[in-house]
Structure 1
């Protein structure tokens, strides 16, 4: 067998693994490994989850770099994305040239710094461009290497359906809606009022409110800063849990598991009227709700005030065949102008300081969300966001221990006390 034939067979096998594991939306149409050359061009693959808002930016980059071809592989759920990335890194092949790392998983991947290139060797020191805590969180523990360039931060708000509020006899103007729920107890009262008038639940699932409340209450969450699992003694975790159970008991949840097919369909079926809404959720809501619901959504303040849920970094695996070009692409995608464009496209809140100061960002109104001044809403507190320490397996503990436990209460399968015990036991397993 010739060298060319062996390469073609190996490339096809890698593409098949990616297609099966990441799904149709994420798979590569090219039978080439990540970082391969294509028709004389350098091919780069960008792996991401959710919606980073990069579609037009990538077209723009390729137009100005005719020697570069870029393929996006998108995965809807982080819980599907992470294990596939782990497999790629273990195999030493298959990962994108630029990969997104979410705040709940980055510490786990940073624990193996040899898997990643030091971006500073290609990008230089960009510390002055970003929120300082966000930039520092992309470094190794000793601060010697930069493994991730900051993308977004997760400033919080609440997205709501104005038409459904109107039918329920509730205020629909965003400032008036914000005044309805200065606290989470007030929010629950709105939910019970909404259900009494419509017979429907106010929210999708308590898991989203659980995440929001937990970050508002502050660290320690699932881990302390020495990476000990402290979920069982954390006042923030227990406080968020108790409030979520209170919501379930009040009957304001539609019991629709976030990211499920029913959840995606629920946006068009009016299954719920409110979604806890970090900035990056805007594009997901728009995608699920469809063009027929344009102008029916708006954005109000989050109960309890403030909070930070979500946010990511772009990293380059050491296995990339073109680390220099990949790092330059990551630098472009995280630049001030690109972060403003991504925000306007899909909602990720910039972490780049020049982006946050950009008049186009500050003045931007989202036409899908009733022309809500989302630049002002989300940007107002972006520079004062306080980071919360997330341990190595934060995402796994949240998504595989606490969220399923809360969903089991919602579904009436397990009593709250037993579900709490189950969550803590599963958290210990996920932390290993």
Structure 2
């Protein structure tokens, strides 16, 4: 066993030890448990970003008489620490909890913190994308989460800003501008020249995510969960591609106030849009920019950035009812409605074949046929091996190093050196 493997497994053990506190505390006192058959007055659902559940839970309340409280956290970086605290203290967690793919991998080693959904819901194993269903399982076979969405990639762009800069505006013509990443950079330079020097994209970290999640191989970890960030061809390709585009970037850190405001103010003209990002773009851009945005293909083909599952923490007092709510929110009809509301791309096979999904056009995005655009790419999506601390490596090592280069605080070489150093620390604790 290599040193890195030992460190990584020790890291997993450390996380398991911390979250085991939550698993033990979640058992609670029998006096706290509801009486057999007692119906909950309320169930709480924790999500991040935009899941499109607002109208769905209203219908659930009418059907069941159970009130549903949605607790939304805008940023994933703020969501994870709260979840870790809930598990460590054994209290505070929602009855239904959204787990992003990086977080799910991190929590798999200690499945005791999560209810096994196998005995609580019907067998849905044949109803979802097979690889997505399998990723929701713990190593011991426990079903930790029901699949929600995948993050099929596209580019969201401002038609009005493209037109003002002398670029094409029709989505097919725009897609033709960038068959590959060099074409995307060239389009950005043309936009910058035609707009009097304005930035084309929000940040180079957005580019790195787009490139990174097009990979079919290992990213920060190999199959044995050794850290390979400094030797991974996929990571180096994402780094080189993204850093080459610093000259067309607005340098707006994703999720920052400057980034959120930039959509409405036209600080940048394009950003990379996994399907779940559509709701975030429209929310940040506001009603006054409706019809100014459109959706084009991503350079180099498809990709998958993100995706989640709904899980039930073991500390929930109503695991059976919570599981039924998760089941409702992930069924075919609900996934279609959530997509129409905020953009999360269905993983339910029936939903992907649904006429209402396939024919859906998004009015905010100039009536773009987003059902067709994103739906056709689903079959091409391949699961990517993320490893146990993927999220930490990406957010606490890769992206800060890129921002240091982008802002001029470090040379490209020094920034890469800092990334590889921090990746080993973040990836192995």
> Normalising to structure 2: TM-score of the pair?
0.90
- Bigger drift between 406-415 and 341-350 goes to 406-415
CA distance in 2, matches of 1:179, 1:216: 19
CA distance in 1, matches of 2:109, 2:217: 21
- Bigger drift between 333-342 and 376-385 goes to 376-385
RMSD between aligned alpha carbons? Answer: 1.5
CA distance in 1, matches of 2:375, 2:34: 39
Instruction: State whether residues 294 and 365 of structure 2, in contact with CA within 8 Å, keep that contact through their aligned partners in structure 1.
Output: yes
Shift of 1:118: 0.7
Structure 2 equivalent of residue 171 of structure 1: 168
Instruction: State whether residues 51 and 344 of structure 2, in contact with CA within 8 Å, keep that contact through their aligned partners in structure 1.
Output: yes
Over residues 45-80 of structure 1, what are the superposed CA-to-partner deviations in whole Å (9 max), with x where a residue is unaligned? 1011111110000111001011x1111111111111
Structure 2 equivalent of residue 94 of structure 1: 92
Instruction: State whether residues 405 and 422 of structure 1, in contact with CA within 8 Å, keep that contact through their aligned partners in structure 2.
Output: yes
Instruction: State whether residues 35 and 44 of structure 1, in contact with CA within 8 Å, keep that contact through their aligned partners in structure 2.
Output: no
Shift of 1:397: 0.8
Which consecutive residues of structure 1, in runs of 5 or more, have no partner in the other structure? 1-33
Structure 2 equivalent of residue 151 of structure 1: 148
CA distance in 2, matches of 1:118, 1:326: 12
Structure 2 equivalent of residue 342 of structure 1: 338
Shift of 1:219: 1.9
CA distance in 1, matches of 2:78, 2:33: 22
Shift of 1:41: 4.6
Instruction: State whether residues 35 and 42 of structure 1, in contact with CA within 8 Å, keep that contact through their aligned partners in structure 2.
Output: no
Structure 1 equivalent of residue 187 of structure 2: 190
Structure 2 equivalent of residue 10 of structure 1: none
Structure 1 residues 70-109: aligned runs within 5 Å: 70-109=68-107
CA distance in 2, matches of 1:137, 1:217: 18
CA distance in 2, matches of 1:105, 1:321: 23
- Bigger drift between 39-48 and 213-222 goes to 39-48
Shift of 1:424: 1.2
Instruction: State whether residues 36 and 42 of structure 1, in contact with CA within 8 Å, keep that contact through their aligned partners in structure 2.
Output: no
CA distance in 1, matches of 2:355, 2:281: 25
Instruction: State whether residues 108 and 138 of structure 2, in contact with CA within 8 Å, keep that contact through their aligned partners in structure 1.
Output: yes
CA distance in 2, matches of 1:286, 1:47: 21
- Bigger drift between 393-402 and 318-327 goes to 393-402
Q: Secondary structure at the match of 1:73?
A: strand
Structure 2 equivalent of residue 235 of structure 1: 233
Aligned residues: 394
Change (3 A) 1:269 1:378: same
CA distance in 1, matches of 2:77, 2:86: 15
Equivalent residue in structure 2 for 1:272, among 262, 268, 272:
268
Over residues 219-242 of structure 1, what are the superposed CA-to-partner deviations in whole Å (9 max), with x where a residue is unaligned? 210111111111111000000000
Equivalent residue in structure 1 for 2:205, among 204, 207, 211:
207
Over residues 279-333 of structure 1, what are the superposed CA-to-partner deviations in whole Å (9 max), with x where a residue is unaligned? 0000000000000000000000000101111100000000000000000000000
Structure 2 equivalent of residue 379 of structure 1: 375
> Normalising to structure 1: TM-score of the pair?
0.89
